[in-house]
Homo-oligomer: A and B are copies of this chain.
Amino acid sequence: MLISELSDRSGLTVQTIKFYIREGLLPRGEAAGATRARYDRRHLERLRLIRALRELGDLPVAAIQKIIAAVDDEGAGLPELFGATQHALGPHVEPPDDPHWRAAREDVDALVRELGWRASERAPARDLLAQAFVALRRLGFPITLRDLRPYVRAAADVAEHEIGRVADGEPRDRTVHTLLVSTVLYEQVLTALHRLAQEDAAARRFAP
């Protein structure tokens, strides 16, 4: 397809597509004359991924370049690629240098070990969890494994389902795209449903 069709099908302007090519995010098309180039499905797939990274992750071009480089590096396994995407997404908590924070972060690491979860030591979600632990303790809510178990089970069930969305043998762009959507948009789905379910559970318990 020509760049005009690529623009039409990706929902991005020709200008934006040319910008992505200059930034090295999108490979050049195959020359088809002096001023024209042809693009194929892989270009479209790549543009969809870039668009999702921009819109969902609100990521700067530099962060997208890193993810795209990992997508193109066939030597990097999918788990590493997914880890890199999660890392780029953040949120990055600034760990304060205080004993409560260090204790909470150690609890998080112990929990992940105990669960046997394979998650990078540098995963930003570890800090996010430690931050919640610190706040809970400060407000007088002790954290017990018994209290965490329903969350662990819910998270694991949902994640298992999400990995199932990835089809075998699909292109790496598409896989990262699918995982990204799970991380960002289905996280929002989970949060919204959690709040609605809380309202319902409160109504069932406290209303006649």
Name A residues whose Cβ lies closer than 8 Å to a Cβ of B: 48, 51-52, 55-56, 77-79, 82-83, 86, 112, 115, 117-120, 123-126, 128-129, 131-132, 135-136, 139-141, 147-148, 150-163, 165-166, 177, 179, 181-183, 185-207
A48: min CB distance to chain B, Å: 7
Given contacts A78-B206, A154-B154, contact A141 B200 (CB under 8 A): no
Residue A199 contacts which of B48, B118, B166, B198 (CB distance < 8 angstroms)? B118
Task: Please classify the interface of chain A as helix (H, G, I), strand (E, B), loop, or mixed, using the class held by over half of its residues.
Answer: helix
Given contacts A128-B191, A192-B128, contact A199 B117 (CB under 8 A): yes
Q: Given known contacts A82-B199, A159-B197, A163-B202, what 16 new A-B pairs fall within 8 Å (CB)?
A: A56-B135, A77-B207, A79-B202, A115-B200, A117-B200, A119-B199, A123-B199, A124-B195, A125-B196, A141-B181, A154-B154, A156-B197, A158-B197, A163-B205, A179-B202, A187-B191
| Copy count, this protein chain | 2
Residue A197 contacts which of B117, B135, B150, B193 (CB distance < 8 angstroms)? B117
Residue A198 contacts which of B151, B182, B204 (CB distance < 8 angstroms)? B182
A199 contacts B135, CB within 8 Å? no
Given contacts A128-B188, A131-B188, contact A201 B163 (CB under 8 A): yes
B163 contacts A154, CB within 8 Å? no
B183 contacts A198, CB within 8 Å? yes
A-B contact pairs, 5 of them (CB 8 A): A86-B195, A132-B185, A150-B157, A150-B161, A154-B155
Q: Which 10 A-B pairs have the closest CB atoms?
A: A154-B154, A159-B197, A129-B192, A125-B195, A155-B193, A78-B206, A118-B203, A117-B200, A128-B192, A155-B197
User: Given the complex of chains A and B, what is the CA–CA distance between A48 and B139 in angstroms?
Assistant: 8
Q: Which residues of B contact A129 (CB under 8 A)?
A: 188-189, 192-193, 196
User: Given the complex of chains A and B, what is the CA–CA distance between A199 and B162 in angstroms?
Assistant: 11
A147: min CB distance to chain B, Å: 8
User: Given the complex of chains A and B, what is the CA–CA distance between A150 and B202 in angstroms?
Assistant: 21
